[in-house]
Amino acid sequence: MLFAKAKTDFLEYMEIEQNRSQKTIQNYDHYLTRLVDFAGDISIKDIDAELIRKWRLWLNRLGTNTSDELSKTTQNYHLIALRSFLKYCARRDIPALVPEKIELARTRRRQVTFLNEDELERLFAQPDITTLIGLRDRAILELLFSSGMRVSELVGLNKDQINLKRREFMVRGKGQKDRPIFISQEASQWVEQYLNKRSDTAKPLFIRYGGSKQVDLSGNFHRLTARSIQRLVARYALLAGITKHVSPHSLRHSYATDLLMNGADVRAVQALLGHSNIATTQIYTHVTDPHLKAIYEKFHHQTDNT
C-alpha cells in the first residue's frame, strides 16, 4: 500500500475512532506530509531504518520562515506522528516497520518561566478597567493565573460553561480529556464585572472588539483567538516592565509554581494541570530545589567543632 493513501485512512481513523481534535489531526497531517516531501509517495514496506535516518537528517537541516532549522522538539513531533501511523498499520495488519524502532532525539529540559507575586500584581494592574476591553483583559489575566488553563482551553470557553457562584466548571483539554477547573473569588469577580458590562448575546466568554466588522447588538462578534491573547499578555508584561518573556503559558507555570510552593502534592498538581504524564509536571522541581537546603539543615546531624 502507498503511504499517501494509508495516511489518509490513518487521519480518518484518528478523527472517527480516536476522536482526536481537528488541530491534532492537522498537525499529524503536516508532519507526515513532510515524509512524502522527502521520499515521495513510497510504499509503506519501504519505510525502513535507513530511510528514517536519512529523513531525520533532512529534517535537521530543514529551515522555516522564522528559523534556520527545526528544533529537536519539533523534529520529535514528526517522529511521534510516524510512530502513531506505524502502530495504526500494525492494528490493520499492514506490513510495516515496528514503531518501537524509532527513537526520539534527546532534547534539552524546558526552561520554565513563571512570575513572582510582585510581577503578577504589576501585570494585573496594566489593563484600563474603565473600558470594556480593559475589563475583558483583566478578567483574562486573572482567569489564566487562577485556573492554570491552557490558552486553547480559555479561548474555547462559552459564557454558559462557567459557574461563577460555585467557581468551578469543566474544560476539555489535550487528548479530548475533561478535567475540573477551579477559580478564585477574585477571578470570578473580574469575569462577572466584564460580563455585566457586555450588552451582546454572543456565546463566547471572551470576544474581540475591532476588525472589519462593527460591534453591534445582533451578536455579530468574534471569539478571541489564542494568538490575540498571546499578544495582549506580552504587551501588558512589557508595560509592567517585566523583562522576561511572558506568555499565557507563563501564567500556567505561575499557577503550578504557586500551588507547589504552598505545599500542594505534585500528583494533585498533575491532575489540576491535566498532564497525562507525571514527568511533564516534574519540570516544576525548580520550585522545591530551594527547600532542599532548609531540609538538610533541619534534619542532618551537625558536628559541633567549637
Beta strand extents in 162-289 (DSSP E only) = 168-172, 178-182, 207-208, 222-223
* Annotated catalytic residue within 7, 83, 253, 275: 275
How far apart (Å, rounded) are the C-alpha atoms in residues 140 and 102? 41
Residue 211 contacts residue 223 (beta carbons within 8 Å): no
How far apart (Å, rounded) are the C-alpha atoms in residues 279 and 269? 12
How far apart (Å, rounded) are the C-alpha atoms in residues 12 and 24? 12
Q: Is 83 a catalytic residue?
A: no
Residue 82 contacts residue 31 (beta carbons within 8 Å): yes
Residue 208 contacts residue 228 (beta carbons within 8 Å): yes
Q: Is 138 a catalytic residue?
A: no
Please, which residues bridge with residue 43 across strands? 2
Q: Is 159 a catalytic residue?
A: no
Q: Is 284 a catalytic residue?
A: yes
User: Cell digits for 301?
Assistant: 546531624
Residue 79 contacts residue 60 (beta carbons within 8 Å): no
Q: Is 13 a catalytic residue?
A: no
* Annotated catalytic residue within 83, 150, 167, 253: 150
* Annotated catalytic residue within 34, 252, 253, 255: 252
Residue 130: CB atoms within 10 Å: 7
* Annotated catalytic residue within 87, 159, 174, 222: 174
Could you give the residue numbers annotated as active site?
A: 150, 174, 249, 252, 275, 284
